[in-house]
């Protein structure tokens, strides 16, 4: 039956790389897995691959999570089709060297990497709370240590750097996870660093140094399965059932950057995010 038998897991960005490897790993542990992707054909192909590997039932949801209307439509479909959600894994993310805007007129890195998981988690929180103890797992990165939230220019309108925008978004993942842990007692919220993994990450709009450096780093990078190991651990380990507000790397708890524990900054980011997505701010418990 497997350690995750009877549990339903939703993995965003589950069509390739770490996301697909995470979904595959949890499915072979017995979980009922649902994955999201932007392209229906690619998402269906990933689902077939997971099923063929012994993953059992795999549900497919198609949405471009950079657009808030798509996040809301996805949440509605998930609530209609999945009677229970035990684990939400906020895995989807991206990197763009040049500043791009979403359909909502927001900077794409911040919108996809932070606002999408913030909005989706809040829209699904009620369903998660019905499956206590449920888990929210958000994929951050060790670059969180270099991240800062520039509340005066959070969209990078005055000054944009692809690296700085990405670092900010991964730092925001941490602040979001820690603040969610302070705002709910029935769902655990943890973040993690998957490692440097061999994927097509950032390939749509890479920087010059990415084009030059990545081929040399490729042999030293983790495989997607290795990169997914921490996500799978945080999503499934029995001894983490009540552990919340933590950061993990290599499947072990780790201290994140000192400034990531700034509760005032986390609360401010929560309010700014709620305003940007049109949600009432969830009070702290």
pLDDT, residue 216, reads 43
CA angle, 225 as apex, 163 and 43 as ends, to 5°? 80
| Rounded Cα distance, 95 and 117, in Å | 16
Burial class of residue 142, CB neighbours in 10 A (0-12, 13-18, 19+): middle
**Is 95 in the active site?**
no
In tens, the pLDDT along 239-250 reads 999 999 999 999
Q: How many CA atoms lie within 13 A of 88 on its CB side?
A: 30
pLDDT averaged over every residue in the chain: 90
Q: Predicted confidence band at 219 (pLDDT cuts at 50, 70, 90)?
A: low
Task: Select from 194, 170, 204 the least CA-distant residue to 100.
Answer: 204
pLDDT, residue 206, reads 55
Instruction: Indicate the SS3 state at residue 260.
Output: helix
State pTM to two decimals: 0.91
Neighbours of 61 (CB within 10 A): 20
Residue 275 has pLDDT above 70, yes or no: yes
In tens, the pLDDT along 117-164 reads 999 999 999 999 998 889 999 999 988 889 999 999 999 999 999 999
Q: Catalytic: which of 95, 160, 166, 216?
A: 166
Beta strands in 106-182 (DSSP E): 134-139
* 154 Cβ contact list (under 8 Å, min separation 6): 107, 110, 168, 272
Instruction: Indicate the SS3 state at residue 52.
Output: helix
**Contact in structure between 49 and 96 (CB atoms under 8 Å):** no
H or E element in which residue 11 lies: strand 8-11
In this prediction, residues 53-64 reach a mean pLDDT of 90
Q: Predicted confidence band at 91 (pLDDT cuts at 50, 70, 90)?
A: very high
**Contact in structure between 63 and 36 (CB atoms under 8 Å):** yes
Q: What are phi and psi of 95, to 5 degrees?
A: -135, 135
What percentage of the chain exceeds 70 in pLDDT? 88
Q: Domains of the chain (ranges plus CATH)?
A: 8-277 (3.40.50.720)
Query: The dihedral of CA 19, 22, 24, 27: what is its sign?
Result: negative
Q: Predicted confidence band at 57 (pLDDT cuts at 50, 70, 90)?
A: confident
């Amino acid at each position: 039956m497997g350690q995750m038998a009877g549990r339903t897991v939703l993995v965003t960005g589950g069509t390739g790389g770490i996301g697909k490897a995470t979904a595959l790993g949890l499915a072979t542990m017995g979980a009922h897995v649902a994955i999201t992707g932007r392209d229906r054909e690619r998402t269906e192909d990933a689902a077939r691959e997971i099923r063929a590997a012994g993953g059992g039932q795999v549900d497919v949801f198609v949405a471009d999570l950079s657009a808030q209307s798509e996040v809301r439509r996805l949440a509605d479909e998930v609530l209609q089709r999945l009677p229970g959600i035990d684990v939400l894994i906020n895995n989807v993310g991206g990197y763009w060297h040049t500043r791009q805007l979403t359909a909502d007129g927001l900077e794409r890195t911040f919108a996809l990497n932070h606002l999408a998981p913030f909005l989706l988690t809040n829209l699904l929180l009620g369903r998660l709370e019905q499956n206590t103890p449920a888990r929210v797992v958000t994929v951050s990165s060790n670059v969180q240590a270099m991240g800062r939230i520039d509340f005066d220019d959070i969209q990078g309108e005055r000054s944009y750097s692809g690296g700085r925008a990405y670092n900010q978004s991964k730092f925001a993942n941490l602040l979001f996870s820690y603040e969610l842990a302070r705002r709910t007692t029935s769902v655990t919220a943890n973040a993690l660093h998957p490692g440097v993994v061999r994927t097509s990450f950032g390939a749509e709009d890479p920087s010059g140094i990415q084009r030059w450096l990545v081929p040399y780093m490729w042999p030293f990078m983790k495989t997607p399965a290795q990169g997914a190991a921490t996500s799978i651990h945080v999503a499934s380990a029995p001894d983490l059932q009540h552990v919340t507000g933590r950061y993990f790397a290599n499947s072990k708890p780790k201290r994140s950057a000192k400034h990531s524990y700034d509760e005032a900054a986390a609360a401010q980011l929560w309010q700014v995010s709620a305003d940007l997505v049109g949600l009432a701010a969830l009070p702290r418990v």
